[in-house]
Amino acid sequence: DAKTTQPPSMDCAEGRAANLPCNHSTISGNEYVYWYRQIHSQGPQYIIHGLKNNETNEMASLIITEDRKSSTLILPHATLRDTAVYYCIVRPTNFGNEKLTFGTGTRLTIIP
């Protein structure tokens, strides 16, 4: 399985865009990139996923580079409630949920 590398922590000012990078240089062609976040004492929350095209939903945007070796999660207008640990993971399309591996993630702190 492809592994991911994320910075351990980041700060972002409230109201600004938060850009969280993820490196997945060994990703294979059938692996999707997923983003989750976990607020203290809660379960991980699904944010967005994509294969090779940029994706956007009501929570965030996902930008995947053309070579698919890295991606960026963008929270367009960060609020204090976005303070959480963000996980970038890759998931093969032809395997089940047993293949999900969460790394240590990025601890994002939104500064008032």
Binding residues for another protein, rule: CB under 8 A, are 32, 34, 36, 41-46, 49, 51, 91-98, 100-104
* Nearest of 50, 86, 93 to residue 68 by alpha carbon: 50
CB of 63 vs another protein, minimal distance in Å: 18
Is the Cβ of residue 16 or residue 104 nearer to another protein in the bound state? Answer: 104
Cα–Cα distance list, 18 to 39, 44, 84, 100 (Å): 16, 19, 12, 25
CB of 93 vs another protein, minimal distance in Å: 5
Is the Cβ of residue 12 or residue 90 nearer to another protein in the bound state? Answer: 90
Compute the C-alpha angle 36/38/40, nearest 5°.
175
CB of 99 vs another protein, minimal distance in Å: 8
Is the Cβ of residue 79 or residue 104 nearer to another protein in the bound state? Answer: 104
d(CA 99, CA 88): 14
